[in-house]
Structure formats: C-alpha cells, structure tokens
Amino acid sequence: MRKILFLFIIIMSAGMFSQSDQIALIPKPQSLELKKGTFKIDENITLYFEPEFEIAGNFLNDFLQNGAGFQLKKTSEKEADLIFKKDVSQPSEGYILEISNSKITIKASDASGAFYAVQTLRQLLPPQAETKNPTKKQSFSIPQLTITDYPKFQYRGMHLDCARHFFDIEFVKKYIANLALLKMNTFHWHLTDDQGWRIEIKKYPELTAKGAFREETLIGHYNDTPQKFDGKRYGGFYTQEDIKEVVAFAAKHNVTIIPEIEMPGHAQAAISAYPELGCTGTQIPVATTWGVFEDIFCPKEETFTFLENVLSEVIPLFPSEYIHIGGDEAPKLQWKNCAHCQKLIKDKNLKDEHGLQSYFIQRIEKFVNSKGKKIIGWDEILEGGLAPNATVMSWRGMQGGIDAAKEKHDVIMTPTSHSYFDYYQSDNPDEPLAIGGFVPLKKVYSFNPISKELNAEESKYILGAQANLWTEYIPNEKQVEYMVFPRILAMSEVTWSGPSENLEKDYPDFVTRVEAFMPRLDSLNINYANHLYELEGKILKEDGKVFYELTTPTKGKEIRYSINNSETKAYSKPILIEENSKISANVFKNGEKVGRDFFEEIMYHKGITAKISLSVPPNPAYAAGGKEALINGISGSDKRYGDKEWLGFWGDDLEITIDFGTPTDINSVTTRFYNAPGQWIHAPKIIKMIRPFVDGTTDTISIPTFSPDDNNENIIEGYIPIIPILAGKMIDGSKIVLIIPNYGIIPEGQQGAGNKAWTFIDEIIIE
C-alpha cells in the first residue's frame, strides 16, 4: 500500500491546486504564484543570513548536509544566491519566499517566519532529500515561484502522553522534528499521571524511584471482564539533563515545550511515593489500570509546599511562558470525607468541593505567576470560578472554551470531537485497539476552533488548537506514529492555513496532497496509517427508494463491487437496495487492488424509508452518521461504540420520532445500547414508547433495560443486547415516538462520578 504514485500538483496564486506539477505543500500556504522555470540547488550555491535568522540558516545547512551531502557556503548579501532578509512588514511567523532563475530570497520579520520559510523550501525538494547520509552529493531543481504565507492561529500544538507509556528522548526529539516540518510550534509534554511520574525532581527522589514504575500493566481494554494484566514491572523517567537536551533540540526546531504536571487529580503515582500528600495518608500503589482515581492531592500546607518545590525545579527547565497544571478529572469523594478539607471550605467561605478546587488552582496560579509564568488547565478549572490569569484548554467539547472566551480568558481548543488522536481513525475491524471514539481524517480537517457563538471580539481569545495523544492503548513508537499520521497533517492545515470554508471542495484537494506527501513520510521512516484507499458506504434516500453509495477519498481510483454474491462489476452510480443486502467491494489503482476488503450488511426494515427527528442532536464527538444512522439499516460495531453508526448523547434525555408517512403495520421494534461505566457510558434504566393506533389513539409503554448491577448473563463486552421494545403485538400508525431518559449523574465510587452519563444507541429496527 505504500507504493504510491507521486501526484503532480500546481498551486495557483489564489491558493488552489490542480494535478500538473510537483508541489504538494502541507499546510497549504496562504498564496502561491507559480512561474515558469526552475532553480537548481547544488554545492555551488552560496548563503547569507543575518544573525537573527541563524536557527533557520543553520537548519537549512544541516538538512542539506544530511540529505544532499553538502552545505551552502556563506558569503555576503550582495554575492549570495540564497538570502534571508529582515522585512518588518511581514506578520509574526509569516514570510515571503521568492525563487527566481538566479536566486532564492526569504523575507521575514522574525526568526520564526524565516524558519517556516525553510520548512516550505524543504517541502519543495523531493522526498529523497529527507533520507540521511547520501552516498554522493546531490542536486535538486525546484520551481520558480512566489509564496506569501503566515499562520491563521498563533498556537498550533501537539500533545504526547509519556506517563501512561514512556518514550525515550530520541523518539521525543523525532516527534518534535515532525511538528516543525508541519509548522506546528508547541509540544505539550504530559509528564505525570496516576500510572507514572516521568520527570526527575531532585528534592523528592522517591517520585522517580517509586512513582516512575508500576508493577504491571493492563492488557486489552479497560472494559474487558475480567481485566487481565501482563505481570511485568514497567516504567522510566527523564532526568533533568534529558529534559535540557530535549528543550535545546526543540529550540533549534522553533518548537516551544509546555510541560504538564497534573494536580489536584491524576496524582496517584506521586501519592504512592509520598502518601502524606493524600487525604488518607495510606500507602497506595502506582496505578496499573487506566481511568480516573479517587486518590488526589489533599490541599494541606505540606502539599502546597511539595507542589511549589516541584514547580520550582520544573519551571527553570522550560523557557515556555506556560506551565500546564492539569486540573481535570479530580473526584471529590476524599475531599468530602476529609475533616481538613471540610474545615478549609468553611474557613475560606467556599461554596463546596468545586470551590475548593478553584481555591487550589488559584493558589497554584499565584505561585506560578510569581515565577514569571502563566498556567494552562483543562476546562474543569472553570468549575468553582476560574483562576484570574489562566488559559483554558477546552477538551470536553467547545463549550468550556466558549465560556472562557466570553470571560476574556485565552483559550486553546482541543475537543474530543476533532482532536483526540487516541480515538479510532477508521471503522475497519482490524484497527489496533484504541480507547474508543471515532475521529477520521476528514473530521479533523473539518475542525474550526472558533465557534459561531463567539463574536469578533471574543474570537480574539481563541489562541489556536491542539491535537492530543493519550497513550493508555499506545505502547510503542510505531503505534504513536500510526495514530498521529496523517491526522496531524489535517490539524496543521487547520491551525496554519485556517479552517476550510467549503469542506466538500477543499477536502478532496487536501487528500490529494496527503497522497503526494506520503513518499516524504516514507523517507522520514514514519509509520503512518494509510486509509486513503479505503471505501466508505452511505445510505441515500430518494423518492421513497433506498440506494447505497460507495466512495473513496482519493481521485483516479476504480471501485468494484458485488451484492449478495453476484458477479463483481465496476461501480458507477449508487446501488439500488430493495431487500436485505450484503455488499463486498474493493478499490483498484492502475488495475491492482489497493487498500483493504470492504463489507457491509444492510437490513431492509420498515424504518429505512421513514423520516426521523431527534429532540436533541448527538454530541459532536459521536455524531458521525447523523440522525439517519439510527434507521439506515446498518448496525454499529459489536466491538466498539466509536463508529459512525453509534450515536452518543451526553447527559441529555432523548426523544426520537420516526414518521412513516402513512399508516404502517408494525410487529416489532428493537434497538440496543452500549454500557461501559468505566468510560462514563451508562445504558438508560428504562425506555418508553408512545404507540399510535389507526383510530388516532395512543398509549405509552415502559420497558426496563439491563443494568450492570443486575449481573445479567446476557451482558457481553459492555453491550446491552437487542431490546425488544415491541414484539409480537401489531399496531397501526404513521409514527412512533421513543423516549430515552438519560441515566443521570454518575454516582460516587464510579468512573466519572459527579459528571453526566453518556447514552449510546444503535440501529432502531422496525419490522
């Protein structure tokens, strides 16, 4: 699948692309004017740059040395063939790149702009230039052109969780280098959590002697019953010298590192090393499973002393203006049962435990501010009152960021719906195990960090966006890259070029450039996921008829299919569906099959031609199939809820109306729910259905569902089996209404306690 035909793309002055020349830039520049002719880069080219542009100039020379076997000789500005010039008219991080028949000129107002011009120049070179240590000196011809470019957002970030699984500094540096290639400027380094403390703190050696190692690690998914473990001690940490080495490397790649030291929650590893930091004072182990744990930092004076001492060692290591202090997923049960905490709430005139968390965060913020730094926290820091100078990282959706921006706080948007790269990126059943969710490439590309709820003034507080990679289910470097690439290409374009204004027009162009970019990823030895040759199926309805449409992301491919074991034929138009159908299909490129086999099974039940309406829309993180997914004849995965057929609703009571248009005989109505308390997902306790009759009357029936408390033997792998809402009892009517109450607030002692529960529902089958 990696033998990819290098597509030829031309970039017109308006920034549009067509297939005719060797340019495939990601992220797309703001404007590009292509000219006739080329410019040759070889060992005879001379170089000039001002001291301010030393990082960019040195990067270019090192790149050419590694990929072409030569460096450019430095000379005066007057005599140089490749010139970096100071141009104060350029915006911050912006640049102009001019390539004529005689020279290359880079104009920038700051070092960042010059560096990004070099990354663009690098992408104009062929992919083999990325291969290190050539056997002989190379030369390259690049097109003559003028690019004017600058970023849409000032914050363009990528996160890596090194607490759940540990990655050595050489891989971390490779990760950072890849961000630089894509003009991303921030690396969010998650260094502490329940499963491991990863940064050396000299004043507290037990943090790494004990807190950096767990006795074993969960095998399989958290929701598996029973849970299984590998029985192997696991861990590692970064010395302060390691940190300095990585920070220096990042500086040479124009990347700022923001460290994250979690508090008050996600602190079990720290408390395992120093039990006095918890409310109970009891010895606990470093966590061996995933999820959220009740042992959190107790807001005692000795705890604040500890955290201030830790931060006093962390802050000098990182030049960033920000320190990330977490603030998310902090259960309050121990605080509720702690005499000290309750007294503190009373003494400080706080409303409740949420107010105590706000007090905790604000106290830490004052200390961080005293060191000349600012804090970033996850959107839970809004609860109980936001710290005065805090920046909010909005992950549970966009709303936290919207609320913060309206309060004139800086915001970085990183919602699960578009930016969680630990979620599945394909609904193919052979994808590697992931935490759940569904964030395919197109979903990332469709992201707009600025909500329509914000006016122009409020929008200024949206600094940018970030993609996150949590590593509970990502144990090695190859899988990190598989989950990140190519989705990071989409995030880089969203944050640099700006969100798409016409997704159906822009996305095919983007995918064409991604396909052309893959040989560069091959040269960089990046283990990317290639889903560009996969098929996607969709039910279409027109004039009471049902059709099945097949599409594949890239152009110039042939689709061949078979329905109900018929002879294979070329696909040219949507397939008419009039009965239960099994479809198999493949993508062909130049006559050869590429990608993976595709299969779909469609149930032609009575609901498939009906109309459906919902009282509330599904959450954006779990709405890929839209409301039609509930009556399109296609069931969701039996192994995971995060595909386009399962719809997720967070805390909402749901009312579903299915309208048949005319009176219809109905003998059965069935559906199913997902139940995974470990992921805040709870099946509803009951379902109600309003049943219509031909005489216009209705009645309402209530049907109990299974609960995990029942220990029902039919509960398998977290799924509630198909529930017969109506069976063996014919009714006549033109519509039915299903009422699905949300489970409610998650009770104490369970994952996500105090939060709203999720409801996940699959196909509603009507026969």
Judged by average pLDDT, the poorest of 322-331, 552-561, 701-710 is 701-710
Is residue 642 predicted with pLDDT exceeding 90?
A: no
Q: Is 52 exposed, middle or buried (0-12, 13-18, 19+ CB in 10 A)?
A: middle
Judged by average pLDDT, the poorest of 100-109, 342-351, 678-687 is 678-687
Q: Is residue 6 very low, low, confident or very high in pLDDT (cuts 50, 70, 90)?
A: very low
Place of tokens 């994250």: 260
pLDDT in tens, 288-325: 999 999 999 999 999 999 999 999 999 999 999 999 99
3-state secondary structure of 22: strand
pLDDT in tens, 695-738: 778 888 888 886 545 443 344 344 556 667 766 566 677 889 99
Is residue 461 predicted with pLDDT exceeding 90?
A: yes
Is residue 1 predicted with pLDDT exceeding 60?
A: no
Helix axes 169-181, 240-252, angle to 10 degrees: 20
Considering the chain, what is the average pLDDT of its residues? Answer: 91
- In sequence order, what DSSP letters do the residues of 326-360 get, joined into one string? E--S---HHHHT-HHHHHHHHHTT-SSHHHHHHHH
CB 57: neighbour CB atoms within 10 A? 23
What is the rounded CA–CA span in Å between residue 643 and residue 536? Answer: 12
3-state secondary structure of 184: coil
CA angle 657, 658, 663 (to 5 degrees): 125
**Cα dist from 752 to 190, 204, 291, 292, 614, whole Å:** 21, 30, 9, 7, 26
Q: What domains appear along the chain, each with residue ranges and CATH number?
A: 10-149 (3.30.379.10), 155-499 (3.20.20.80), 533-602 (2.60.40.10), 609-766 (2.60.120.260)
CA dihedral 409, 411, 415, 421 (to 10 degrees): -150
What is the rounded CA–CA span in Å between residue 23 and residue 2? Answer: 19
Q: Is residue 20 very low, low, confident or very high in pLDDT (cuts 50, 70, 90)?
A: very low
pLDDT of residue 730: 63
Catalytic residue from among 98, 262, 329, 472: 329
pLDDT of residue 131: 86
Q: What is the average pLDDT across 133-159?
A: 94
pLDDT of residue 16: 34
pLDDT of residue 675: 87
pLDDT in tens, 216-241: 999 999 888 889 999 999 999 999 99
pTM of the shown model: 0.90
Place of tokens 């329509």: 452
**Cα dist from 141 to 7, 37, 144, 334, whole Å:** 17, 10, 9, 66
What is the rounded CA–CA span in Å between residue 633 and residue 11? Answer: 42
Q: Is residue 640 very low, low, confident or very high in pLDDT (cuts 50, 70, 90)?
A: confident
Q: Is residue 677 very low, low, confident or very high in pLDDT (cuts 50, 70, 90)?
A: confident
Q: Let me know if 329 is a catalytic residue.
A: yes
